[in-house]
Structure 1
């Protein structure tokens, strides 16, 4: 399910569209949706990191990142995961898998990334996991996020 097909769309603080995908910035996390057939490599990841640093510049904590794998694409983990390992930017790295091919990418990423990569079947599960780690109450649906 795409972010724009959920109630999360009403909670987006900033949306950044790149030629390779869309990145949604929220107070507590970023959600990415990479385009079908893309090769996500360092030069693309660095554009997102630059925007993320600007968005979160006044916050003194690591970023929670959810990769919403709605499309099939390839990655060059040795490019951008090396940067993430070196600078330790991520607090939580979560992946929502909708297809079997997304699971294959996840396996490759786990070989390169020294931190934990958490896998979920839905955006709601991934968001709730991040909320629980930040000592926030989980929600039964996205509409209840506004109430908390």
Structure 2
């Protein structure tokens, strides 16, 4: 389910569209939707990190990130080492996978990203996980926003 197809779209603080995907900035989290067939590498990630740093400040350690994997794409997992080398990490890193062939990529990412990556079957589950960790009431549906 795309963010733009849910009431979440009405709560986006900033939306950034690139040729490689769309990134939605909310109060407590970022949701990414990487485009079909993209190789999401360090150069692309750095563009988003720069925007996130400008928007949220220099510390990403309090940020929550949801990778909404609506498309098939690949990631250079060793590029996570560059991200971590900058002293960056996410408070919560969630991946929403809709297809079983997305699971192997997630497993590989877990080897390179040193913190936990939690996976979910729906965007609502991922948002609720973050809401609970932020001491907010979980939603039955996005219509409750």
TM class, shorter-length: over 0.9
2:119 aligned residue: 119
1:84 aligned residue: 83
2:6 aligned residue: 6
Larger deviation: 82-91 or 133-142? 82-91
Normalised by the length of structure 1, the TM-score is 0.92
Question: How does 1:48-127 map onto structure 2 within 5 Å?
Answer: 48-57=48-57, 62-79=62-79, 81-86=80-85, 87-127=87-127
Classify the secondary structure of the residue corresponding to 2:91.
strand
Distance in 2, Cα, partners of 1:116 & 1:60: 15
Distance in 2, Cα, partners of 1:32 & 1:61: 17
Question: How does 1:33-52 map onto structure 2 within 5 Å?
Answer: 33-52=33-52
Gaps of 5+ in 1: none
Normalised by the length of structure 2, the TM-score is 0.94
| Aligned length in residues | 144
Q: Is the 8 A contact 2:23 2:33 kept in 1?
A: yes
1:142 aligned residue: 142
Distance in 2, Cα, partners of 1:61 & 1:115: 11
Larger deviation: 113-122 or 97-106? 97-106
